[in-house]
Structure 1
Amino acid sequence: MSQQVQGVISRAKDAPVELVTINIPDPGPGEAVVKVQACGVCHTDLHYVQGGIGDDYPYLLGHEAAGIVEAVGDGVRDLAPGDYVILNWRAVCGSCRACKRGRPWYCFATFNATQKMTLEDGTELSPALGIGAFVEKTLVAAGQCTKVDPAAAPEVAGLLGCGVMAGLGAAINTGGVGRGDSVAVIGCGGVGAAAIAGARLAGAGTIIAVDIDERKLATAKELGATDTVNSREVDAVEAIQGLTGGHGADVVIDAVGRPETWKQAFYARDLAGTVVLVGVPTPTMQLELPLLDVFGRGGSLKSSWYGDCLPSRDFPMLIDLFLQGRLPLDAFVTETIGINDVDAAFAKMHGGDVLRSVVVI
């Protein structure tokens, strides 16, 4: 029997978000209903509101969430009511060419729930990143639920569902940061700050934070940056080279996703170094670069999808590190808010006033 719950939707491009009644169907085969306990307010949600991802309105917003499994459908194994889970938006299929090659983090056939959540009048909702978690309960594919230690508070654990995992993974998984490496991170919002924490966790020797906001640079210092660069005041490439013996960093992570910041990352790396793009560009952005420079500098140019994470592998490990005091996930929670405060959280995010606002439901 379907349920009615309250959730936050975006009905049209740039329209104020709305708290409305949503119908949640019983889970079908391979599906689960999860009672959401907390959900972070991510830039991706704002992109949905602004029309930057698509026009399949109305969207059920929210995707960075943790909660309790309430019910599962037929055929669901290894998941049961009462399990404490983090939701992920890349449920791997296990059978595509990437999965068969042993690279499930690149799965080309990730999936979501088959059934649709709807408004009271029957209008089908598009859940943000296949989740939709600014809501009391949500319907997802069972593979989107990753069990973790319930000792971690949901407002902290849920952040691994997107932004924090994207940053940590950009450093550890995609960038392959190792002990003693030099790392520069351009853009120190939530994702960039997580990349700094990931570089520290991996044992990097020099960690350079680059931003135009002194508040973000101060936070980066707290999370492990050894040096900071205000690129509003100095040339970022020259500054990074100066802090790395004139060579450039071994790994440079662009957490902004603009052509100008990607070029900074490209030229700020050492010969044969690695550039990682984890900031999400808009569809209209173009990049122009001398091909000879690409050839002559060697190394790797990588894009990081969701931090190249495998939720079943990475989420429990990172939660355990947090509980051991080795990974300060709680430092990313700037404030906890109610489900009616999402619009205000978007404004704070736009102004650079928060790393993460977290909706507690």
Structure 2
Amino acid sequence: MAQQVRGVIARSKGAPVQVETIVVPDPGPGEALVRVQACGVCHTDLHYREGGINDEFPFLLGHEAAGVVESVGEGVTDVAPGDFVILNWRAVCGNCRACLRGRPWYCFNTHNAKQKMTLLDGTELSPALGIGAFAEKTLVAAGQCTKVSPEASPAAAGLLGCGVMAGLGAAINTGNVGRGDTVAVIGCGGVGNAAVVGARLAGAARIIAVDIDDRKLATAQKLGATHTVNGRSADPIEAIQGLTGGFGADVVIDAVGTPETYRQAFYARDLAGTVVLVGVPTPEMKLELPLLDVFGRGGSLKSSWYGDCLPSRDFPMLIDLYLQGRLDLDAFVSETIRLTDVEEAFGRMHKGEVLRSVVVF
């Protein structure tokens, strides 16, 4: 029988979010009902509220979440009621050309729950990234649930559902950072600082954090950056080259996603180095580079989708590292808040005052 729970709704572009009653149906074939325990406040949720992704209002916000499976629909075998899971927004299909070539992290046919959650009047909701986890319970495709150790803190574990995984994966999976490499990270918010942590985990010898906010740079140092550069007082390209004997970094990760930061990343890398774009540009942005420089500098220019992660492979491994004390996910939890505090948390996030506010149920 369908259940009524509270959820955070964005009804129109730019309007403050509201906590309203939503209707969550029982899971159908291939679906799972999850009791949400914690959900991080991510920039993507703010983009939804501002109409920056699409105009399919009203949205049920929230997607960076962990919780417990309450029930499953017909045909679900990978998770069962009682399992502690992290939710992901790229449930792989197993049948597309990427999956069949053994590259499921590039799956071109990811899927969500087929049934819709609604408002009390029957208005269908668009769940953020197919999840909608600023709610006491949510309905997702079973493939969006990845079982991990229940010993993990839900507030910390849920952050792997988006931002922290994007940054870690940009370094480890997309950038292929190796032992002894020099890595530069441009933009040290939640994703960028996760890239710093990923570079450290991969064994980078030198990690250069670049930002225009000294508070974020201080956090980057705590998380493993060996050097910092404030882009307001120093040219990032010259500074990174100066810290690398004039050569540039082996891997430069752009966690901002603007033409200017991408140009900095492009010219701050060593010959045959790698640029990883994980910051998300806006639709109107254009990039212009001399094609001869693209050819002459060699190396790789990569985009990182969700850190090129495969949740079934990466989430349990990263949670194991967390439980071993080798990955400090708790450091990304700036504060825990109530469901009714999301609008205020957007403001603190926009001002750069937090890495992550996390709604705890």
Dislocated runs of 4+, deviation >3 Å: none
How far apart in 2 are the matches of 1:12 and 1:197? 37
**Partner residue of 2:286?**
286
SS at match of 1:208: strand
**Partner residue of 1:324?**
324
SS at match of 1:79: coil
**Partner residue of 2:58?**
58
Q: Cα deviation per residue 1:236-261 (whole Å; 9 max; x = unaligned)?
A: 00000000110000000000001100
How far apart in 1 are the matches of 2:293 and 2:121? 57
**Partner residue of 2:68?**
68
How far apart in 2 are the matches of 1:43 and 1:198? 20
> What are the equivalent positions in structure 2 for 1:26-175 lying under 5 Å apart?
26-175=26-175
Write the letter of the residue equivalent to 2:194: A
Per-residue deviation, 1:27: 0.2
How far apart in 2 are the matches of 1:175 and 1:244? 18
How far apart in 2 are the matches of 1:142 and 1:78? 8
2:192 matches 1:192: yes
RMSD between superposed Cα atoms in Å: 0.4
How far apart in 1 are the matches of 2:292 and 2:120? 58
SS at match of 1:234: coil
Q: Cα deviation per residue 1:73-105 (whole Å; 9 max; x = unaligned)?
A: 000002110000000000000000000000000
SS at match of 2:46: helix
Write the letter of the residue equivalent to 2:316: P
**Partner residue of 1:277?**
277
> What are the equivalent positions in structure 2 for 1:207-226 lying under 5 Å apart?
207-226=207-226
| Count of residues in correspondence between the two structures | 361
How far apart in 2 are the matches of 1:183 and 1:281? 22
Q: Cα deviation per residue 1:322-352 (whole Å; 9 max; x = unaligned)?
A: 0001011100000000000001100000100
Q: Cα deviation per residue 1:131-169 (whole Å; 9 max; x = unaligned)?
A: 000000000000000000011110000000000000000
How far apart in 2 are the matches of 1:348 and 1:202? 31
SS at match of 2:319: helix
Per-residue deviation, 1:15: 0.4
Write the letter of the residue equivalent to 2:356: R
How far apart in 1 are the matches of 2:58 and 2:295? 45
Write the letter of the residue equivalent to 1:348: R
How far apart in 2 are the matches of 1:21 and 1:137? 11
How far apart in 1 are the matches of 2:92 and 2:165? 16
How far apart in 1 are the matches of 2:53 and 2:283? 9
**Partner residue of 2:352?**
352
SS at match of 1:47: helix
Per-residue deviation, 1:196: 0.1
Task: Note the residue ranges of structure 1 that are not aligned, 5 or more in a row.
Answer: none
SS at match of 1:7: strand
SS at match of 1:302: strand
How far apart in 1 are the matches of 2:283 and 2:316? 34
Task: Note the residue ranges of structure 2 that are not aligned, 5 or more in a row.
Answer: none
Write the letter of the residue equivalent to 1:224: G
**Partner residue of 1:15?**
15
Per-residue deviation, 1:172: 0.1
**Partner residue of 1:258?**
258
Per-residue deviation, 1:295: 0.6
SS at match of 2:207: strand
How far apart in 2 are the matches of 1:126 and 1:20? 14
Per-residue deviation, 1:195: 0.1
How far apart in 2 are the matches of 1:52 and 1:253? 23
Write the letter of the residue equivalent to 1:351: K
Q: Cα deviation per residue 1:157-198 (whole Å; 9 max; x = unaligned)?
A: 000000000000000000000000000000000000000000
SS at match of 2:208: strand
SS at match of 1:196: helix
Write the letter of the residue equivalent to 2:340: N
TM-score computed with the length of structure 2 as normaliser: 1.00
